Amino acid sequence: MFVLVNLKTYPCDPVAVAEAVRDVDESTDARLAVAPQATHLERVADTGAETWAQHVDPIDHGSNTGQTLAESVADAGAVGTLLNHSERRLKLADIDGAVRAAEHAGLETVVCANNPAQIGAAAALGPDAVAVEPPELIGTGTPVSQADPDIVEDAVDAAQHVDRDVSVLCGAGISTGDDVVAAGDLGSEGVLLASGVAKADDPTAALEDLVEPL
């Protein structure tokens, strides 16, 4: 299972969370990674934790003020990037361009989507993985695997129908090890989560709880 912790812009210590991710990753068969803000990428990567960006833009070097270049993200130490998170939506053509930009920079890609129909469309763009995240459940503590397990199963079916090489993750409301197990039982190969770790008083304990049942 792949556990990707999105720090969003939460007021946490990104280095401390990254160190927790690194340490717990070394003690489990699960794969753990962390996605800090762009300005924190290099410091987080320096901890040795697997580091992902939260976003890259569909651009090349040039006149792109205020945008995030995939090559710069890779140079900072990131190995992958999220795309089209519900808090950073993109048009389909821009998702396609961002996937291509990330691939050119050697970054893995996870494209987020709201529902199985969007998952199928995202999978057709050829990312490494897609992630189904109903936005109404994000940050609620109620996992999608519990609120509507059919969404996860249908998302897996939609992606596999388009491209069997595209992995499916699920997110929204993931906070416990039981949530991670339930996601796997529904066909997901990993989970996205944020507040369950980023807002935890003890990120290491929160991560250990997530992977303990695996």
Position 146 scores a pLDDT of 75
Dump pLDDT digits (tens) for 164-212: 999 999 987 788 999 899 999 999 999 999 999 999 999 999 999 999 9
Query: What is the band of 140 on the pLDDT scale with cuts at 50, 70, 90?
Result: low
Mean pLDDT confidence for 30-46? 98
pLDDT digits 0-9 by tens, 45-59: 999 999 999 999 999
The percentage of the chain sitting over the pLDDT mark of 90, rounded to a whole number, equals: 86
Predicted confidence at residue 172, as pLDDT, reads: 77
Region 79-99: what's the mean pLDDT? 97
- Please state the pTM of the whole predicted model: 0.95
Binding site feature residues for substrate: 6-8, 138, 173, 194-195
Q: Is residue 85 flagged as an active site residue?
A: yes
Catalytic residue, chosen from 133, 153, 161, 189, is 133
What is the per-residue pLDDT across 62-71, written as a single tens digit (0 to 9) for each? 999 999 999 9
Q: Which of 19, 85, 108, 136 is catalytic?
A: 85
Domain span at 146: 2-211
The arithmetic mean of pLDDT across residues 34-43, rounded, is 98
Model pLDDT, residue 37: 98
Pick the residue with more confidence: 214 or 50? 50
Residue 148 banded pLDDT, cuts 50, 70, 90: confident
For the residues 34-49, what does the mean pLDDT come to?
98
Q: Is the pLDDT assigned to residue 108 strictly greater than 90?
A: yes
The pLDDT value recorded for residue 141 is: 66
Domain count, the chain: 1
> Would you state the structure tokens that stand for residue 25, as one six-digit string?
């990753």
| CATH code of the domain in which 204 resides | 3.20.20.70
Write down the pLDDT at residue 137. 65
Q: What is the pLDDT of residue 138?
A: 64
Question: Lowest-pLDDT range, 69-73, 85-89, 142-146?
Answer: 142-146
Is residue 50 part of the annotated active site? The answer reads no
Specify the pLDDT at position 119. Answer: 96
